[in-house]
Amino acid sequence: MYNITFTLGDPSGDGHASTSEYHMVSNYHAKEIDEAYKEACKIIGFDYVEEVGMEYLEPYINEEHFNILVEKNIIDRKDFECSSGELDLYLDEEWYLDIFIKICKLVIPDLTLIYRDLEEENLYCLDGAAYGIAYHGE
């Protein structure tokens, strides 16, 4: 098993600076997942990470990409249908990651990527400390 981490959002802080940090365990090395993802992008015909959810305040998948993902059996159309029959193409982080994993599974079907509990406790006396020291010119 491999420990994997990544940050969704704006880790550079040059925009809205909102982020979500993930710590996960996988049966594949991060490099293997990266390679599988690149191969899977060729199968689906677009780069999911580069094209979905990259614009500020646009947490949606466009209909073209949605239809490709349905066609490739990565997502089920029913999961995005409202009671009125219209599509709700909003993606939260859970959906976003679930779709990413399913895209990777096109190349490595037995991929597991599960949340890892870091079992950390907060050292409150250092929260917010070294304000001037930790400034790196951003």
Alpha-carbon distance 11 to 129, whole Å? 20
More confident residue, 93 or 106: 106
Q: Which residues lie closer than 8 Å to 1 by C-beta, 6 or more apart?
A: 25, 26, 27
Instruction: Tell me the pLDDT band of 91, cut-offs 50, 70 and 90.
Output: confident
Q: Judge whether residue 109 has pLDDT over 90.
A: yes
CB 75 within 8 A of CB 99: yes
Torsion of CA 87, 89, 90, 96, to 10 degrees: 140
What would the two tokens of residue 8 be? Answer: 């969704």
For the chain, the structural domain boundaries read: 2-56+97-126
Q: Which of 63-67, 89-93, 118-122 shows the lowest mean pLDDT across its residues?
A: 118-122
What are the C-alpha distances in Å from 117 to residues 5, 18, 57, 108, 122?
12, 21, 29, 24, 14
Q: Judge whether residue 57 has pLDDT over 60.
A: no
Q: What is the pLDDT of residue 21?
A: 84
Instruction: Tell me the pLDDT band of 56, cut-offs 50, 70 and 90.
Output: low
Q: Which residues lie closer than 8 Å to 78 by C-beta, 6 or more apart?
A: none
> pLDDT by residue (tens digit) across 10-26?
656 555 557 788 899 99
Q: Judge whether residue 122 has pLDDT over 70.
A: yes
Instruction: Tell me the pLDDT band of 68, cut-offs 50, 70 and 90.
Output: very high
Could you tell me what percent of the chain has a pLDDT over 90? 43
Residue 19 DSSP SS3: strand
The stretch 31-49 carries a mean pLDDT of 95
Q: How many separate helices (H) and strands (E) can be counted in the chain?
A: 4, 3
